[in-house]
Structure 1
Amino acid sequence: MTNKRFYHIGFGQEDLGKSPPEIALLSGDRDRTRLIAQNYLQDVRLLSQNRGLDSYLGYLPNHRPILSATSGMGAPSLSIVVNELVQVGIRQIIRIGTCGSIQPHVPVGSIVISSAALCRQGTANDIAPIEYPAAADPFMTVALVKAAQELGFEHYLGITASVDTFYEGQERTDSANPYLMRSLRGITEEYRRLNILNYEMECGTLFKMAGVYQFAAAAVCGVVAQRTVDEGIVLEQKDVAVGNAIATAIHAITNSCVYL
């Protein structure tokens, strides 16, 4: 059989070897993808850098194969990558990202594990109806919570708001467009009162795709902004938050019976 290399991710099933991985760690940032591969995996091999969507094949200490892959920013790019990853045999995906807290008790530097998402994303509406639930896999989510507890990381479990834009959609006015549509003014306070923990841009579509495509998905994000205080990113805390999110995912995969 000839190897079908997919147009966007740049590799195919035959590139994954005789024991292909069934799990992928998915990051929007290609630098994070590389960091995971180089610092947390063994015998790493670069699969592709097509379109800036870097993908690496590596192995956990227990010799389990795993992908570290780049989704790109936002749901449209993620939807393409996830579709092609499922076609090469991936059955479990953990998104490792960054997010902004909208609750005063969720500080910068902590991590948020998403149990579900309020999905305000046009991409997701092409996957399933707007009423379709955007829920994380419960077993993978519990494994992430247990991992964070065992590692002693400050973590929060709850609902995430997934939106399509970083500025307008997250009610940022310190940008090239300070004039928000009326439907977005006050949206952060509304979400806060609905007990939503954080903003990010991919989970909702990922979770809906998991339900429709029949794979398992979960998400853990490092908190890099505190929207009850300021609109900006706190770069001084980013490395800690992202590092703890990565370590949580790796620990969950390595130690949970969910992945045996």
Structure 2
Amino acid sequence: MTTHIGAQVGEIAETVLMPGDPYRAKWAAETFLKDAKIVNEVRGMLGFTGTWNGNRVTIQGSGMGMPSLSIYANELISAYGAKTLIRIGSCGGMQPHVGIRDVIIAMTATTITSPSSGIFREMNFAPCADWSLLQAAVNAAQTMDTKTHVGGIYSSDVFYAERPDLDEQMVRHGVLGVEMEAAELYILAARHKCRALAVLTVSDHLQTGEALPASEREQSFGDMVEIALKAAFPDA
């Protein structure tokens, strides 16, 4: 048991899927896992452990933003021995060819600042996904009828951004989408010798103004969860 996770040692699997929304964690666990058991309710940040195709999996909410994710990822790794952490969540599309409901598999995650920025001081560390997970996720996506994009994303530390000039540069440099957590996850995984990946569903678009209605989000997020599970267990 840690400050923010009430699970006992042994109740958290080595493979953890991390949606930001705790209720999305509940939905994913009920939809994809067998014999899912709730293992965390501290502060309402729900976590569940069950099995997928015979493999133990934990789905733990991480909250919104890099500071919140950093808390949960640090505790999952240090106290519970998590080895593979995959973010599953929504993002905003930034390129014209990226559509609503498309899936983005994040190869890299650019950010202005994260909870780890103070460690690097003047250096611009380049956080990236684990290659084995990235490759397995791409392979899984190719077997599914899901429009998928692979490349760089931007992890913002604010939701209500007021930097149109920055958005222009992101688009200019090929950034596929924007979200708020992946860069810190990739940095922590590198620091602790773990594997990390972000598989994201485009729920809105910064250029077109399109947005996925809340009522349709859960059913549209199934593909990214399936891709994440197949990436974690490619032989299952």
- TM tier, smaller: over 0.9
What is the SS of the residue equivalent to 1:105?
coil
Match of 1:106 in 2: 98
**Structure 2 residue 154 is matched with structure 1 residue 154:** no
Identity of aligned residues (%): 29
Q: 1: CA distance between counterparts of 2:65 and 2:169?
A: 23
Report the alpha carbon displacement of residue 229 of structure 1 after superposing the two structures with TM: 1.1
Contact 1:38 1:44 in 2 (8 A): yes
The partner residue of 2:57 within 56, 66, 70 is 66
Measured on the aligned residues, the alpha-carbon RMSD in Å equals: 1.7
Match of 1:116 in 2: 108
Q: Deviations over 1:31-72 (max 9, x none)?
A: 1100111110111111111012111110112x2111010100
Q: Which amino acid aligns with 2:232?
A: I
Report the number of matched residues. 233
Contact 2:45 2:60 in 1 (8 A): yes
Moved >6 Å (runs of 4+): none
Match of 2:2 in 1: 6
Contact 2:89 2:199 in 1 (8 A): yes
Contact 1:33 1:69 in 2 (8 A): yes
Contact 1:108 1:237 in 2 (8 A): no
The partner residue of 2:223 within 244, 247, 253 is 244
Q: Which amino acid aligns with 1:233?
A: A
Q: 2: CA distance between counterparts of 1:162 and 1:134?
A: 11
Q: Deviations over 1:61-91 (max 9, x none)?
A: 2x21110101001100100000000021100
Match of 1:75 in 2: 66
The partner residue of 1:131 within 114, 124, 127 is 124
Contact 1:117 1:134 in 2 (8 A): yes
- Give unpaired runs (5+ residues) of structure 2: none
**Structure 2 residue 186 is matched with structure 1 residue 213:** no
Contact 2:39 2:49 in 1 (8 A): yes
Report the alpha carbon displacement of residue 114 of structure 1 after superposing the two structures with TM: 0.1
What is the SS of the residue equivalent to 1:225?
strand
Return closer, same or farther for 1:223/1:158 CA change in 2, 3 Å cut-off: same
Q: 1: CA distance between counterparts of 2:189 and 2:118?
A: 14
- Give unpaired runs (5+ residues) of structure 1: 169-179
**Structure 2 residue 76 is matched with structure 1 residue 85:** yes
What is the SS of the residue equivalent to 1:104?
coil
TM-score scaled by length of structure 1: 0.85
What is the SS of the residue equivalent to 2:143?
helix
